[in-house]
């Protein structure tokens, strides 16, 4: 379907450039992070990478813990791809894309141990905090993965506990107690087109990808999550190269927080 | 005696009365309501002799007979191709209008135009129900190989082309790219990467400043300044 586009992108990449004149491993500009953009959420953020724009809101609820982890709270990540952000998205129950997006963001936060779930415990086996992270893309101009995970992290960083008297939560009163973030997991999606690797694909490049690997890493470069997508396989050497790019670019993105 | 209520090139909004009286005629973008001529879209009111027409400021492309447009193949049928025209209506390219080659019975039509291909074609007929027929027979009508497609506001296309194509020729010369501008707002560009970028940036600049006068000179200056860097 996109043969012409793909061969054009590859010929550009062979010349060391891309459709919009960027270098292969260059993010779009500007990368902006805005905190506390939604008043009704406990924590929120808006992230812009080029023309891609994502809102993330964090709500906090009190609920019962899972029976196997009575002293741990939990996080729930949901993504809704609004038709307003991309004409190809449709209303209705979340599709494969939305579920994958939510799971990639969830895994980055969960597996990096960014939030200490034990600290979310209020009363063992009875009451724990549940952190609900909702992702809402306003404009999808490519690379929702990186934008969403950056926005989710920023929203968590911004989040403050609502006041809770042991019975009911008063969402109108925010306490000064912040949700502590132990780690800063940043996701970078490295895309393979032909035999070249690029980061931050735009809408047109996303149509032409062979495979993609979302690499989540924390401050010291430790890997915490991976997600492979696209129709083509990757060799071990290719994955090695993609990890290096992902971790290095992650450091760059982290400075924006 | 009729009375024209607006100045030439005045910005008009939908519902605005442009003129009163029966000896003024409603043009494109206007309609008659009793004695009055009313605007039905946002645009510049142009008074052309006895008719009043509206030049729209924005909006989608609406197909017109004789337009040369760039289309994407969205379906291959038994006797032709269905094309996306970047408007609300799709176009039909029948086998006999597609090529002067002999096509054998039951031949695989994808060898001519496949799904996702972009082609330059000409509208031969638009029915009242907005069924569009296009042809590939004519100078410059062909399949587009290589290069890339960008989308612009269809209402700005006349500015991008310029008088007798002066603007687009200037961009072609400065950027050494092949450029095809479709009336439907799709533009095909093929050239060296850095030159393609210059062409696109120039087109975006024209799009943004299309309402200003002396645009040709401004663009000439812009191309001279930015073209040198390459």
Domain range summary for chain A, segments of one domain joined by + = 3-254
* Residue matched to tokens 């309501």: B33
The C-alpha atoms of residue B38 and residue B52 are separated, in whole angstroms, by 10
Residue of A nearest to B115 (CA): A1
Whether residue B138 sits in one domain with residue B82: yes
Say yes or no for a CB contact (<8 Å) between A3 and B116.
yes
CB nearest A19 (choices: B115, B118, B148): B148
Query: Domain boundary residue among B144, B174, B203?
Result: B144
Q: Nearest CA of chain B to the CA of A18: how many Å?
A: 8
* pTM recorded for the entire structure: 0.84
The reply to whether B145 touches chain A by the CB within 8 Å rule is yes
Domain for residue B61, yes or no? no
Q: Exposed, middle or buried: residue B4 (CB in 10 Å: 0-12, 13-18, 19+)?
A: middle
Answer for the pair A205, A141: CB distance below 8 angstroms, yes or no: no
Q: Nearest CA of chain B to the CA of A208: how many Å?
A: 12
Token pair belonging to B228? 């040198």
The pLDDT of residue A1 is: 63
Residue B174 structural domain: 148-227
Chain A partners within 8 Å of B146 (Cβ): 4, 7-8
The pLDDT of residue B10 is: 87
Domain for residue B63, yes or no? no
Positions of chain A with pLDDT lower than 50, given as ranges:
none
Domain for residue B108, yes or no? yes
Lowest mean pLDDT among A236-245, B199-208, B218-227: B218-227
Domain for residue B35, yes or no? yes
Superfamily of the domain at A3-254: GHMP Kinase, N-terminal domain (3.30.230.70)
Return the percentage of chain B with pLDDT > 90, whole number. Answer: 60
According to DSSP, residue A110 is labeled H
Whether residue B79 sits in one domain with residue B102: yes
Domain for residue B153, yes or no? yes
pLDDT at residue B215 is higher than 70: yes
Whether residue B86 sits in one domain with residue B33: no
Name the pLDDT band for B227 (thresholds 50, 70, 90): confident
Token pair belonging to B92? 């039909």
The pLDDT of residue B230 is: 54
CATH number at residue B204: 3.30.1370.10
> Rounded mean pLDDT of B95-124?
90
Query: pLDDT by residue (tens digit) across A155-169?
Result: 999 999 999 988 889
pLDDT at residue B228 is higher than 70: no
Q: Nearest CA of chain B to the CA of A122: how many Å?
A: 55
**Mean pLDDT computed over every residue of chain A:** 93
Say yes or no for a CB contact (<8 Å) between B194 and A17.
yes
Interface confidence, given as ipTM, is 0.76
The C-alpha atoms of residue A186 and residue A52 are separated, in whole angstroms, by 17
Query: pLDDT by residue (tens digit) across B48-98?
Result: 888 998 988 888 999 999 999 999 999 999 889 999 999 999 999 999 999
Chain B partners within 8 Å of A12 (Cβ): 193
Spell out the residues 6+ positions from residue A190 whose beta carbon is closer than 8 angstroms to its own.
Answer: A197, A198, A199, A212, A213, A214, A215, A242, A245, A246, A249
Say yes or no for a CB contact (<8 Å) between A4 and B116.
yes
What b-and-e string marks burial along A12-24, b requiring 16 or more CB atoms within 10 Å of the CB? bbeeebbbeebeb
Say yes or no for a CB contact (<8 Å) between A17 and B193.
yes
The pLDDT of residue B146 is: 86
**Mean pLDDT computed over every residue of chain B:** 90
Chain A partners within 8 Å of B116 (Cβ): 1-4
According to DSSP, residue A141 is labeled S
The C-alpha atoms of residue A205 and residue A203 are separated, in whole angstroms, by 6
The pLDDT of residue B1 is: 63
The pLDDT of residue B105 is: 83
What is the phi-psi region of residue B79: left when phi exceeds 0, alpha when psi lies from -120 to 50, beta otherwise?
alpha
Whether residue B124 sits in one domain with residue B87: yes
Domain for residue B62, yes or no? no
* Residue matched to tokens 């993105």: A253
Chain B partners within 8 Å of A8 (Cβ): 146-148
Closest CA to A71 of A21, A126, A6: A126
What is the phi-psi region of residue A26: left when phi exceeds 0, alpha when psi lies from -120 to 50, beta otherwise?
beta
């Amino acid at each position: 379907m996109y043969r012409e586009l793909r061969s054009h992108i590859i010929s550009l990449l062979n010349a060391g450039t891309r459709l919009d004149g960027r270098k292969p491993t260059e993010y779009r500009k500007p990368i902006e992070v805005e905190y506390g953009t939604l008043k009704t959420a406990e924590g929120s953020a808006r992230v812009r990478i080029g023309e891609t724009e994502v809102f993330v809101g964090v709500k906090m609820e009190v609920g019962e813990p899972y029976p196997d982890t009575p002293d741990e709270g939990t996080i729930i990540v949901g993504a809704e791809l609004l038709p307003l952000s991309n004409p190809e998205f449709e209303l209705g129950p979340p599709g494969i894309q939305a579920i994958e997006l939510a799971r990639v963001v969830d895994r980055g936060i969960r597996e990096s141990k960014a939030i200490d779930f034990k600290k979310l415990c209020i009363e063992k086996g009875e009451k724990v905090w549940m952190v609900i992270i909702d992702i809402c893309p306003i404009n999808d101009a490519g690379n929702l993965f990186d934008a969403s995970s950056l926005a989710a992290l920023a929203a968590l960083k911004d989040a403050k506990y609502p006041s809770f008297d042991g019975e009911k939560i008063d969402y109108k009163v925010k306490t000064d107690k912040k949700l502590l973030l132990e780690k800063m997991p940043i996701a970078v999606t490295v895309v393979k087109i032909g035999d070249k690797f690029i980061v931050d694909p735009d809408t047109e490049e996303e149509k032409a990808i062979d495979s993609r690997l979302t690499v989540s890493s924390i401050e010291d470069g430790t890997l915490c999550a991976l997600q492979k997508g696209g129709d083509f396989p990757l060799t071990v050497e290719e994955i090695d190269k993609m990890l290096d790019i992902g971790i290095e670019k992650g450091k760059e993105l982290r400075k924006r927080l | 005696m009729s009375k024209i209520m607006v100045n030439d090139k005045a910005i008009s909004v939908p519902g605005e009365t442009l003129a009163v009286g029966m000896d003024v005629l409603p043009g494109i973008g206007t309609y008659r309501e009793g004695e009055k001529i009313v605007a039905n879209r946002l645009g510049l009111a142009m008074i052309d002799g006895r008719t009043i027409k509206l030049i729209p400021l924005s909006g989608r492309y609406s197909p017109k007979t004789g337009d040369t447009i760039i289309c994407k193949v969205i379906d291959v049928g038994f006797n032709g191709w269905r094309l996306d025209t970047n408007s609300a209506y799709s176009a039909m390219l029948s086998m006999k209008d597609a090529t002067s080659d002999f096509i054998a019975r039951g031949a695989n039509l994808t060898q001519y135009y496949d799904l996702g291909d972009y082609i330059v074609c000409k509208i031969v007929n638009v029915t009242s129900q907005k069924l569009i027929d296009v042809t590939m027979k004519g100078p410059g009508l062909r399949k587009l190989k290589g290069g890339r497609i960008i989308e612009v506001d269809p209402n700005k296309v006349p500015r991008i082309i310029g008088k007798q194509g002066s603007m687009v020729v200037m961009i072609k010369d400065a950027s050494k790219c092949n450029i095809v501008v479709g009336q439907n707002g799709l533009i095909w560009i093929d050239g060296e990467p850095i030159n393609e970028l210059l062409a696109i940036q120039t087109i975006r600049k024209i799009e943004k400043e299309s309402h200003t006068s002396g645009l040709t000179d401004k663009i000439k200056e812009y191309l001279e300044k930015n073209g040198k860097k390459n």
